[in-house]
A and B are shown apart, each in its own frame.
Chain A
Amino acid sequence: MARGIKDKVAILGMGCARFGERWADDAETLMVEAYEEAIADAGIETSEIDAAWLSVAFDAINIGPSGIPLATALRLRNIGVTKVENYCASGTEAFRGAVYAVASGAADIALALGVEKLKDTGYGGLPVRSRGTTFDMVGVTGSAPGNFAQLASAYRAAHGVAKADLKRAMAHVSVKSHANGAKNPKAHLRKPIDMDTVLNAPMIAEPLGLYDCCGVSDGAACAIVTTPEIARALGKRDPVTVKALQISASNGWEAQQGGGWNGSYFHTTRIAAAKAYEEAGITRPREQISLMEVHDCFSVTELVTMEDLHISKEGQGWKDVLDGLFDADGAIPCQIDGGLKCFGHPIGASGLRMIYENYLQLLGRAGPRQRTSPPSLALSHNLGGMPSQNVSAVAIIGMHDA
């Protein structure tokens, strides 16, 4: 029986580049920006890093293959560098690599860095690409909004929610994240918006309008991890530790078995969340989780994720959203940094950016957006793919004694 990751690994330092349309900067600059903040926070030298993981999703349009671009950018000391790609969940995947390396004892200090340079495509939204030779013959090459928009049609049908009600709840998600992003100096989108702006925006993929979609950004984020003992020895008296780290990948059931999945939720998120709570010893997540960073690539994704994380009851998430439960001053803030929606979504970096925000909040270092009631357990949910076929990652971090 696996014993899980709880409290075996501590976060020594984290960094995050300013997200946005970084027209003047290469991926190298973004990586170094995130790294310099993280290594200064960790208080170590580059030579002390034993192993590294690099996450990037669209490598073909930015840094190219392999771990070499990271080793070169940071001038790592010829250590092992592993490049990982797991759709938009790549950032948490890199974090998992580094955390597992430390937990195994194979490395004392490991680094995870995610980067994405998306604004060299020449158009808005994510790059269009092949998903393999079989998919290209029988799959639908839709857009990301089109893939996720389908959640809404199925959610309405499954729970008998009126089109207008769901659209309003989705709009509330975006209005909330814009309010939060406005307080974040590293966020891509920093302008508050109102409900009418969201509801009247041009349609991207029915029923998702422009403001139901997250920003497509350049950016990088970095974590340096070690054991709690080494962290204390390096002066971190009360370190933040990893409580749970779970990744669940679709095996085709949702996409292929007729009459199974109903299209309105994330099968994998439910599995990853349940395992993560068990790993962290959490039995009442709605009461025990202090705050959440979830994969709000689209407003409807965030909404159904509230249910899949077992925070809201099935079919009731849209009401909790409208009740303000997840607002910055609500019971369980969600996307207190603006989320993918406004902090931005440089794919390979996003999972690490979520952990970065949770780390800052736990240490009381989040500035004007700091949650006033001190958080003790923070969850991040990082999702890649599309509702019918995806990789869902749940990470929970907290104070070592939490």
Chain B
Amino acid sequence: MTIGILACGAYIPRRRLQRGAIHAANGWFAGGLKGLARGERAIAGWDEDSITMAVEAARASLRDFDRAAIGSVALASTTLPFADRSNAGVVKEALNLADATGAFDLAGSRRAATTGLNQALAAAAGGASAQLLVAADMRKSRPGSEAEMTSGDAAAALIVGDGEAIATLVGAHSVTIDFVDHVRESGADFDYGWEGRWIRDEGYGAMVATALADGLAKIGVDAAAIDRFIVPITAKGVAEGLARRLGISAEAVADRLADSVGDSGAAHPILLLASALEAAGPGERILLVGFGQGVDILIFETTDAIADGQRRRSVAATLADRVEDMNYLRWLFHRGLYDLERGMRAELDQKQPGTTLWRNRKAVLGLVGGRCTQTGTVQFPKSEISVNPNNPAAHTQEDYPLADRRARVVTYTADALAYSPDPPGYYGMIDFDGGGRMTVEFADVVADDVEVGREMRMVFRIKAVDEQRGFVKYFWKAAPVRTGEAD
């Protein structure tokens, strides 16, 4: 048993907005951003947020991991949907973890996840049970801003604890300096940023470089011994420049996914770490930088356990599961930045009684159905009397989680009449492998890729938003299983 990173996972939303499409719309106004108008950025759907993306990344990390071993869940983000409702608590429910699981949110800085990782490793060294550390960000940006071009939406997860570690911590170093390169007031939608040249010179050039030099010296690792150098700063040349100054080899500099995902904020260092772990072999030294009102330096060394590859395979898959998107206005609408006429059908009251959600939290947030202990009949949701017409046994049902079961389409439609923020709304009936069925909304569907018999998997998404009272209703949807997707 070794203390370290036991598994990792990632989630990148499927739609990749072409930056050229942003510039085509805004270039008349923000012509100076032309140089950034290349590549693509990941954009979350209307029904995604930091919580739903975190759940998907967490599921990827937990694929071959015993959930009962998770002692706590931490969610790091600068875009937590709730200011006073444990966001990590929603993730815990969605993952159907035991009630005897700790949960806490890490926020306030893009460095939240690296700081959290350092703390999680320290806690594990102190004997704490495994922690699921998830980082997710879906940052809003003003149309025409530089952040709109450079940001991306993503989530990544690590399981930290004592076990068959794939990477162990060699050492860590942190500094905190109130360097306000950008700021976002509580409750505000957008960042306010300062001049890029100052950030480059004093932030990256001085603060990060100094922290790196101090950290390497303190930990006692030679810069030349670093095999993978992760700098979650997508500005061009920054990572390469730091490597040069410190004597880290140019080959060690990790791709920042700048042209394929964009800067995913608090999630970005963890996403890049997961990506590095996916590519790494045993005995490699990985240097991870966290930046945001200071610097975190963490140096890891991969173990022999990394060789089996089972617990670190989701980044390439989620990166490859993509569709090019040129529809800039649709994305603005989904982020609430473009006020389309939604029609009266959108006026349906989405009030969520707190009592009913609490009573049904396992079914709603965890997609837990029932299984009759007499007949084995599986159903969703659970009921007092089994649905089986041959033996409607009473009070025999045990919990039966369905979220990780594959399903097949039984019926479907594409509904252009009912209100959907992304019309037409696809939905239909699905049968789960091993029993149980439900009628459910479909996610990430394209017109020529849905038919009776289509294999689907369940994803955690926003079902509806109660705009009147400020509440997000989450539930599960079915998404097509695509070739090459890790199972």
Contacts and interface: CB of A to CB of B under 8 A. Distances in A.
Interface of A: 121-123, 125, 128-130, 133-134, 136-143, 145-147, 149-154, 156-157, 202-206, 208, 251-253, 255-260, 262-263, 387-388
A125 B437 contact: no
Contacts of A125: 417
Contact of A146 (B348, B418, B453): B418
B418 A137 contact: no
A294 B415 CA distance: 24
Given A153-B451, A263-B410, 9 more contacts: A128-B419, A142-B425, A146-B418, A154-B410, A154-B452, A157-B451, A255-B438, A255-B439, A257-B387
B25 to A, nearest CB: 28
A264 to B, nearest CB: 8
B427 A128 contact: no
B90 to A, nearest CB: 14
Interface residues of B, number: 54
B467 to A, nearest CB: 15
Nearest to B473: A137
B27 interface: no
Contact of A138 (B350, B381, B437): B381
B413 interface: yes
A251 B388 CA distance: 10
Contacts of B377: 257
Most buried by A among B410, B416, B431: B410
The 8 closest A-B pairs by CB, nearest first: A146-B415, A150-B411, A157-B452, A263-B411, A149-B413, A143-B417, A143-B418, A206-B414
B378 A258 contact: yes
B383 interface: yes
A138 B357 CA distance: 10
Contact of B415 (A129, A133, A145, A255): A145
B127 interface: no
21 contacts: A130-B348, A134-B356, A134-B360, A137-B357, A137-B463, A137-B475, A138-B380, A138-B438, A146-B417, A146-B427, A205-B416, A253-B387, A255-B429, A257-B377, A257-B388, A258-B432, A258-B435, A259-B435, A260-B437, A262-B410, A263-B411
A97 to B, nearest CB: 27
A137 B414 contact: no
B437 A122 contact: no
A149 B413 CA distance: 6
B427 A137 contact: no
A206 B424 contact: yes
B344 interface: yes
Contacts of B378: 258
Nearest to B413: A149
Nearest to A263: B411
Interface string B350-380: 1011001100100110000000000001111
A121 B381 CA distance: 32
